Structures are given as structure tokens and as C-alpha cells.
Amino acid sequence: MLLDLSGKKALVTGIANNRSIAWGIAQQLHLAGAELGITYLPDEKGRFEAKVRELTAPLNPGLFLPMDVQNPDQMQAVFQRLESQWGQLDILVHCLAFANKADLVGDFSDTTAQGFRSALEISTYSFTSLCRLAKPLFSPEASVITLTYLGAERAVPNYNVMGLAKAALEASVRYLAAELGPQQVRVNAISAGPIRTLASSAVGGILDMIHHVEAKAPLRRTVTQQEVGNTAAFLASPLASGISGQVLYVDGGYCITGL
């Protein structure tokens, strides 16, 4: 069976620039034949919109909409538009994460209450919110994919509050997989190795993390956005029809190492 997503409707969130993992996923879904809907984070000057619109134009997205996950009305508007234009949703990709830069360096116990709340709201609760809004629109055999990281289960220097957010996200994957399973909707996470992106640049020592993986991972290298995108396309396809509630590691094998 070939990987063919022709006729599938896919909503991809979290594209910021050409280094975004979400961008790698969007490209591979497009290559497999899916029609894309793209959301972007709106800002007062419209810089994000212009950047993401120019980047994604070659993918010819059928939907291009603003969405701030801290704005419930804006989220609702996205799915109302999706319902009116598409009628159903086959693939939902959640690539949203945020923590205050000050909370991603130094001691974890210095995390502020506000920083804790915003990290969990944007990085974790947004996934639940998207699934709730998409639930009436999911087609049979739909696929939901989110991004996590090894810091969810191991203490990684400076990852701090984001580790808690990703641990909660992985638990959300399991609970949502159980909830949506009777609809034949699959929910999975990809745990990608460290990749230099706009989001990861906020983590103190990210380059040291990348160099460490290059030295210690079985493949002796980091992974690319395209490799994560390939895995996402697989999870979105009938080839992964029996996989749900799982965390798939795309990290060059780093997760298996000890010393």
C-alpha cells in the first residue's frame, strides 16, 4: 500500500517559518496529496501572517486562517469556517508550544505561577481544545498528531516547565485516543529530537543539546523537519490504521541510550 492522502483535508497549526517542524509536516502532507488548511498566529502588524502566507503559498492551502489558542472565539471561528468549506476533517496537526524564555533557563523551582499557567494553557490545553472543536467534524479513520519531546519523561537541563507541559500533553494523547477511538479517530504524538527552530531557540543551551545528540545518538546525527514530516504523513495514512495513543520517537535513536 502506497502512502496516498489524496482527497484528505488536513489542518496544520504552528507554522512560524521555514525551520518550523510544522512546516516540514505540511510539506510532506502536501506531497502525499492532502489539501491543507493553515493557521497562523495573528499580530498587530500582520508580520506573522505575511511570512506564513508567503511560505505556504506553494502548497496552495484551501484555508488560511488566524488562530490564537488563547482566544476561544477565534478558535471557534476556524472550525466554523472549516465546517462550512470542507464539511469534515481528516487530519489535525497540533504543533503549538510556548513558555516564557525566563522559565527555560536556570532552576525549575524558579518557574513563576503565570509562566506555569501560560505554558500549560498554550502547549497542552490547546490540544484538548482543538480536539473538542474538531470532534463533530472528524471523518471515520481521521488522524490527530501532536509534537512532544523526551523532556516529558526525563529531566533535561533548562527544559523545565516545558517538560511538565509535554508530559501532560502525552497524557492527553492517551485520554483523547480513548475518547475518540469509538469514532475510529486515532491520536498519536511524535517525539522529535532537538531541532533548531524558533521555538527551541528559547531553550537555554539548545545548541549544546543538538551537539550532544549528534555525538551520542545511535545514528550519530540529529533529525530533520522532513523526517518528522514523513512520520506525520505515515501516521495520517491508512498505513498506520492500527496505531493510536502512542508516542513515536523520531530522534535518531537517542531515546534508547544510557550513558
Domain ranges across the chain: 9-253
Res. 1: pLDDT tops 70: no
- 68 class by beta-carbon count within 10 Å (0-12 exposed, 13-18 middle, 19+ buried): middle
What pLDDT is stored for residue 199 in this prediction? 63
What pLDDT is stored for residue 203 in this prediction? 62
82 compared with 156, residue with greater pLDDT:
82
Res. 158: pLDDT tops 60: yes
29 compared with 258, residue with greater pLDDT:
29
How confident is the model over 110-127, as a mean pLDDT? 97
Residue 40 annotated to the active site: no
Please name every residue paired with 11 in a beta bridge, in sequence order, or none if there are none.
Answer: 37, 92
Q: How confident is the model at residue 166 (pLDDT cuts 50, 70, 90)?
A: very high
Active-site hit among 159, 175, 249, 254: 159
Distance, CA of 229 to CA of 234 (rounded, Å): 9
What pLDDT is stored for residue 198 in this prediction? 56
Distance, CA of 144 to CA of 161 (rounded, Å): 24
What pLDDT is stored for residue 153 in this prediction? 95
Instruction: Describe the chain by its helix, strand, coil percentages, rounded to 5.
Output: 50, 15, 35
User: Computed over its alpha carbons, how large is the radius of gyration of the chain?
Assistant: 17
Instruction: Summarize pLDDT for 168-204 with one digit per residue, the tens.
Output: 999 999 999 999 999 999 999 999 988 876 565 556 5
Residue 149 annotated to the active site: yes
Q: What is the mean pLDDT of the chain?
A: 94
Detail the residues annotated as belonging to a binding site for NAD(+). 14, 20-21, 68-69, 96, 166, 195-199
Distance, CA of 156 to CA of 43 (rounded, Å): 32
CA within 13 Å, CB half, 137? 26
Q: Return the CATH superfamily for domain 9-253.
A: NAD(P)-binding Rossmann-like Domain (3.40.50.720)
Query: How many CB atoms are located within 10 Å of the residue 134 CB?
Result: 21
116 compared with 204, residue with greater pLDDT:
116
Res. 97: pLDDT tops 80: yes
| Residue 223 neighbours by CB under 8 Å, 6+ apart | 192, 193, 195, 250, 251, 252
Please say whether the dihedral angle defined by the alpha carbons of residues 13, 17, 22 and 27, taken in this order, is positive or negative: positive
Residue 143, SS3 per DSSP: strand
Residue 192, SS3 per DSSP: strand
What pLDDT is stored for residue 194 in this prediction? 86
How long is the chain?
A: 259
Q: Which amino acid, 181?
A: G
Percent of the chain with pLDDT over 90: 85
What pLDDT is stored for residue 210 in this prediction? 83
Are the CB atoms for 93 and 12 separated by under 8 Å?
A: yes
Detail the residues annotated as belonging to a binding site. 14, 20-21, 68-69, 96, 99, 166, 195-199
Q: How confident is the model at residue 135 (pLDDT cuts 50, 70, 90)?
A: very high
Name the pTM for this structure.
Answer: 0.94
CA angle 196, 209, 236 (to 5 degrees): 55
User: What distances in angstroms separate CA 73 from CA 11, 82, 130, one per listed residue?
Assistant: 18, 14, 12
What pLDDT is stored for residue 2 in this prediction? 65
Q: How confident is the model at residue 44 (pLDDT cuts 50, 70, 90)?
A: confident
Distance, CA of 232 to CA of 226 (rounded, Å): 10
